[in-house]
Chain A
């Protein structure tokens, strides 16, 4: 049995300790906002926060998350960085198919939480691991600057 604190709620689940957090969230607990894209930390669609830091849940064994506060896209709007990112995404109509956007917003929210006024280089570093096949990159960059009020 593993107990996880997800979005402020404790969940006890019967899963192997090496099971990636992604599949615990999606297939066991039912939080499907966190997406499967590559399974190898190559695309960032599965990004969640552990104690406010972005991690790729597809390669994070559940054992590494037990003592941490896990935040997913479903609750990121309750953080200042997440709320700002979501609003900026709406203001600039960033999304297209939308599948990668949970991960994009989780990366952006973590960036805004640590760097309220990120530079282009900061954005490149924080979002470079999140792939979008619809090509929303120019709007993601603009939305992060918009969220920062820059």
Chain B
């Protein structure tokens, strides 16, 4: 293999095993916060962290370091590559990358992870550079074959053409020669006006297998001798297994084995039905531990108490105390958002085969290297002996960023001879999720005589997901530090959770005196985790509801009030105006109906939404229409952006109206889709998405739609009823007394 290093992208080429061209490239950290530039290393083995393979038949394979969970990354990543490589999108084949942080780390995180709306943002440049480099090699190989000047040749549709004579050579015929050539030093990327794929609504590559039942998710794994298990977990968080009588369970036909864990019992059977019947037949006594009486109200009391103390400063501009003292008017409020389950359509599951010399995992995961590390820890095997066979994800939303269910499956599999598929029932999936934290926010503003905010104070209180994740990431510290940047790390050491305040610390509005704080308060034994939209999903609801309160309190139109504070943020102002225009802001609505607006700047994107709701006499809310304006910079696939907005909006409406995990006697009170209600087709609004054309760097689109819709709905409810929603979900808050 030979190595060529350019400033931004490291590429190396060589012959693939069995013939063909193999091209490796790294994804350098692109975080603007990172003070550590990618280092050019000339010593030791060079390890690229993504691979393109071009076979002699011309087929291009991209080893995908990102997983597909619905967000369209299996289409947008190949589009970036194919654009510069000059091949048809249909020529690109995908393979799941094996777990390897050194090779496949997400540049924005430092670990191999799909999440945080980062795929296009992190890979936008490296994937195009890789495609351009490979194309340059193939063109050079053709020129050499014909003994002509490289500049007289060009590539298109997987073929190199010699302009003057019209001779052609397909990529497949060139790969062996290309593999012996050196990469040209700096291959320029195409000018946006020459793009053929980027910016087009290319069809999803994963659609055909998803409409005929062929798509394989983790839960679909079939192996010789495979057994199926399901689990009963201690219903109280922090409780343990005291004893279990499994005699009735073992008598059920098809039940093979009962496995005891510290806080759970699993029944291993021929099929899921026998396993479920086996679990139902277990006579279990739990040692419920210290949380046996815990209720949601206890947790809220703890949050309220914690929120009265000062927190770690996340943002401090000007002098809030002085400005507040001089304000003509002061408005303050408390906002609360609940614990939420992810409820992916595919219940969590993991198939494991533990042998004395190795372990295989078949699973759909957003974090394959964490899965590998976790399995190695549970089995005591070296990491290299743990193989992760990643699959399509039947929904992620943050749930499959966690490895709790993988750990549990490996613990069970350690006691089982042969492979075992551990499948959670829907009830277990909801009652033993890792939840979006309950957040308790105190927010206040001081206004001048005209109603303009001159002081802004926001204190976020809640669990720190980042603190847990960072400690779990400890072995990968150096790479993670490099991705996060010192600024964030110093803040984290001081106790700031940068995720918990994202969307609160930097509102797009002109706020001359602003102080944002974070208070960490962990709920007892309740595991918390990221949920679609992460920090902004909670904070945008609070900030955008509160700014609406300020507008209402000072008799301003909520759209005009926001607009007047956006002179320093033209992109934010642009989407706000576009959404208002397209929604017909100001036009009359039927009685009992209302329109609400929201604005978001997060994940590198700007989004404004206008929701229209109607509220029945019984207090039921129907969201009839959502208009969404998006400026996510350069758009790779406009249809994907639209689909992600539709998706995020519907996901967010479910949570805003009904989503809530509550506790009583230490147990989750919700069970299944009957009491963890989600939006259904007849309840879905009309959604209109308007895209802003831009040449700015691409922003993320998987999550912000969810974050923006919750305040838009809450503000529309206020417009319809005069009732301010300061606590989610809306649920029965509008019922007549």
Contacts and interface: CB of A to CB of B under 8 A. Distances in A.
B687 to A, nearest CB: 6
Contacts of A138: 646, 684, 686-687
B165 interface: no
B646 A97 contact: no
B272 A33 contact: no
A23 B273 contact: yes
Interface in B461-486: none
A42 B273 contact: no
A64 interface: no
Q: Which of B203, B207, B347 has the most CB of A within 10 A?
A: B207
A127 B426 contact: no
A27 B271 contact: yes
Interface string B239-257: 0000000000000010000
B345 A45 contact: yes
Interface in A42-95: 42-43, 45, 72-74, 76-77, 85-86, 89-90, 93-95
Q: Which of B204, B212, B681 has the most CB of A within 10 A?
A: B681
A39 B279 CA distance: 15
Contacts of B228: 27
Contacts of B395: 97, 99, 133-134
Interface string A11-22: 000011001100
A136 B204 CA distance: 14
A98 B206 contact: yes
Q: Which of A26, A105, A137 has the most CB of B within 10 A?
A: A137
Q: Which of A89, A133, A136 has the most CB of B within 10 A?
A: A133
Interface in A95-115: 95-102, 105
Q: Which of A95, A100, A101, A127 has the most CB of B within 10 A?
A: A95
B681 A96 contact: no
Contact of B643 (A19, A38, A93, A105): A93
Interface in A123-150: 123-124, 127-141
Nearest to B342: A133
Contact of A16 (B72, B253, B394, B646): B253
B210 A139 contact: no
B217 interface: yes
B673 A96 contact: no
A38 B679 CA distance: 15
B210 A135 contact: no
B212 A86 contact: yes
B345 A132 contact: yes
A31 B646 CA distance: 31
A37 B425 CA distance: 8
Given A35-B346, A39-B426, A90-B203, A95 B210 contact: yes
Contact of B220 (A32, A42, A43): A32
A30 interface: yes
B210 A98 contact: yes
> Looking at chain A's contact residues, is the secondary structure mostly helix, strand, loop, or mixed?
loop
Contacts of B649: 135
Interface in B627-647: 639, 643, 646-647
A95 B207 contact: yes
B211 interface: yes
Query: Could you say which interface size class chain A belongs to?
Result: 35 or more
Interface string B51-77: 000000000000000001111100000
B231 interface: no
Contacts of A96: 70-72, 643, 647
Contact of B394 (A26, A77, A98, A131): A98
Q: Which of B68, B423, B672, B686 has the most CB of A within 10 A?
A: B672
A43 B426 CA distance: 11
A2 interface: no
A137 B684 contact: yes
Interface string B337-365: 00000011111000000000000000000
A29 B397 CA distance: 31
Q: Which of B214, B347, B686 has the most CB of A within 10 A?
A: B347
Contacts of A135: 646-651, 679, 684
A101 B210 contact: yes
B646 A136 contact: yes
A123 B681 contact: yes
A122 to B, nearest CB: 11
A31 B647 CA distance: 28
Q: Which of B214, B343, B643, B648 has the most CB of A within 10 A?
A: B643
B341 to A, nearest CB: 11
A22 B684 CA distance: 28
Contacts of B392: 97-98
B543 to A, nearest CB: 24
Contacts of A99: 217, 344-346, 394-395
Interface string B192-234: 0000000001011011101111111101101000001000000
Interface in B6-39: none
B191 interface: no
B204 A36 contact: no
Nearest to B216: A32
B343 A36 contact: no
Given A97-B392, A134-B70, A135-B647, A27 B211 contact: no
Contacts of B217: 99
Q: Which of A16, A30, A35, A132 has the most CB of B within 10 A?
A: A132
Contacts of B181: none
Contacts of A124: 681-682
B678 interface: yes
Contact of B681 (A16, A23, A128): A128
A40 interface: yes
Contacts of B425: 39
Contacts of A136: 643, 646-647
Nearest to B682: A124
A8 B706 CA distance: 44
Nearest to B273: A23
A112 to B, nearest CB: 14
Contacts of B647: 96, 134-136
A116 to B, nearest CB: 20
A27 B228 CA distance: 8
A139 to B, nearest CB: 7
A124 B347 CA distance: 25
B639 A42 contact: no
A65 to B, nearest CB: 14
Given A30-B222, A99-B345, A77 B212 contact: yes
18 contacts: A27-B228, A42-B674, A72-B213, A86-B211, A86-B212, A89-B211, A94-B207, A97-B345, A98-B206, A99-B346, A99-B395, A101-B211, A105-B211, A124-B682, A132-B681, A134-B395, A137-B681, A139-B646
Given A97-B345, A128-B682, A133-B651, 5 more contacts: A90-B211, A99-B395, A133-B397, A134-B70, A135-B651
Interface of B: 68-72, 201, 203-204, 206-208, 210-217, 219-220, 222, 228, 253, 270-273, 276, 343-347, 392-397, 423, 425-426, 639, 643, 646-651, 672-674, 678-682, 684, 686-687
Cβ-closest 5 pairs across A and B: A33-B213, A135-B650, A99-B394, A96-B70, A97-B70
